[in-house]
Amino acid sequence: MAEGDAGSDQRQNEEIEAMAAIYGEEWCVIDDCAKIFCIRISDDIDDPKWTLCLQVMLPNEYPGTAPPIYQLNAPWLQGQERADLSNSLEEIYIQNIGESILYLWVEKIRDVLIQKSQMTEPGPDVKKKTEEEDIECEDDLILACQPENPVKALDFDVSENPTEIEELPPIDHGIPITDRRSTFQAHLAPVVCPKQVKMVLAKLYENKKISSATHNIYAYRIYCEDKQTFLQDCEDDGETAAGGRLLHLMEILNVRNVMVVVSRWYGGILLGPDRFKHINNCARNILVEKNYTSSPEESSKTLGRNKKVRKDKKRSEH
C-alpha cells in the first residue's frame, strides 16, 4: 500500500469511529471491507416526521482528492428536491476538499429535514425506532481531591508564578462506561491557552483514582482569534492512537476552547477496537452535555475558512 493510501485509510478509520460514536445505532455498517456505510437521518429523533437514509462508499482517495460516493434513499425525495439536496452536499465537499465531511453531510441533511417538517405539508408515517442503553454509574468513581496526595510526575511545571498565570478552569466529570471490567470516564474543562491545559492535567492527577488509571488520554483544541487558526494537540498515554482518534472526533464536532481527558481503568480483559468506541462515546457525551457541539452551518464555515492548524510543540509525554 502506498504511503498516501495508508494515510487516507487511517483518516477514514478515524472518521468512521467518530461517526459511530456520534450517531450510535443510527450508523450502520453495510460492508466494512468495501467501506460502505448507511445512516438513518430524521428531523426529530424522538418524534420523526421526515426520514432519509444516506448510504456512502469511501473510495481510497477520500478524503484527500475524491469525495464519498453516496446515495440518498427516501420514497418522498424526488425531482428538484433531490437535485437541490445533492447540490448542497457537493457544495459542502467543494468548500472542504481534503477534509472529512461525512458529519457535515449528515447534519446538512438533518437541517433540510427540519426545515421540511416546519412546512405545512404533512409528513409520511415513520415508525419510531429508539433504544436507550442504560449505563451504570459508579458513585465512587470520582473521589474528592485531596491536596495531600502526591501529584503524578508531569513533564512541565505549573507551580511557578501562580498569581501571574491563568486561573484553573472548572472541571466536569462524565458518566462512566463499564465494559468487561474496564471502566472509561471523560473529564472536560474549558481552556484558552496551553498553560490551562497543564493546570487541568495537574489538578486531575491530584485525584488518586484518576492518577491510578491505566491510561489518561487527552486532546484539546484552542481557537486563536487573531490568527484564525487552531492550536491543538493530543496524548495517547500508552493507548496507541487513542489521542489522535479523540482529537479527530473533536475536529469533526468542531469544538473549540475545550480539552477532554478520558481515563481508562483496565479490568484485565482485552477489549480490542471496542476500547476506542468507548473512549469516543465518553468524550462525545460530555461535549454534548456541556453544549460544546456547534451547528452544521458553523462547522462548515469554520472548516472552509480555517484549515490551518498549529501543533502545540509543548506536548507532554507521561
Q: What is the pLDDT of residues 259-277, one digit of tens each?
A: 999 999 988 888 888 888 8
Domain extents in the chain: 3-117, 172-311
The answer to whether the 3-117 and 172-311 domains have the same CATH topology is no
**pLDDT digit string (tens) for 199-249?**
999 999 988 888 888 899 999 999 888 888 889 999 988 888 888 889 988
145 DSSP assignment:
P
Number of neighbours of residue 29 by Cβ within 10 angstroms: 11
- CB burial string 254-266: b at 16+ within 10 A, e below: bbbbbbbbbbbbe
**Domain 3-117 superfamily per CATH:** Ubiquitin Conjugating Enzyme (3.10.110.10)
Task: At 316, list the grid cell.
Answer: 507532554
pLDDT surpassing 70 at residue 148? no
pTM of this structure: 0.54
pLDDT surpassing 90 at residue 128? no
- The H or E element containing residue 237 is none
Question: Which residue type sits at 68?
Answer: P
Stretch 170-195: mean pLDDT, rounded? 92
pLDDT surpassing 60 at residue 316? no
Enumerate the β-bridge partners of residue 69.
Answer: 57
Spatial distance between the Cα atoms of 133 and 278, rounded to a whole number of angstroms: 13
Enumerate the β-bridge partners of residue 229.
Answer: 224
Domain 172-311 carries which CATH code?
3.30.230.30
What pLDDT sits at residue 58? 92
| Three-state SS letters, the chain | CCHHHHHHHHHHHHHHHHHHHHHHHHEEEEECCCCEEEEEEECCCCCCCCEEEEEEECCCCCCCCCCCEEEEECCCCCHHHHHHHHHHHHHHHHHCCCCCCHHHHHHHHHHHHHHHHCCCCCCCCCCCCCCCCCCCCCCCCCCCCCCCCCCCCCCCCCCCCCCCCCCCCCCEECCCEEECCEEEEEEEEECCCHHHHHHHHHHHCCCHHHHCCCEEEEEEEEEECCCCEEEEEEECCCCCCHHHHHHHHHHHCCCCCEEEEEEEECCCCCCCCHHHHHHHHHHHHHHHHCCCCCCHHHHHHHHHHCCCEEECCCCCCC
Q: Which residue has the cell 457537493?
A: 90
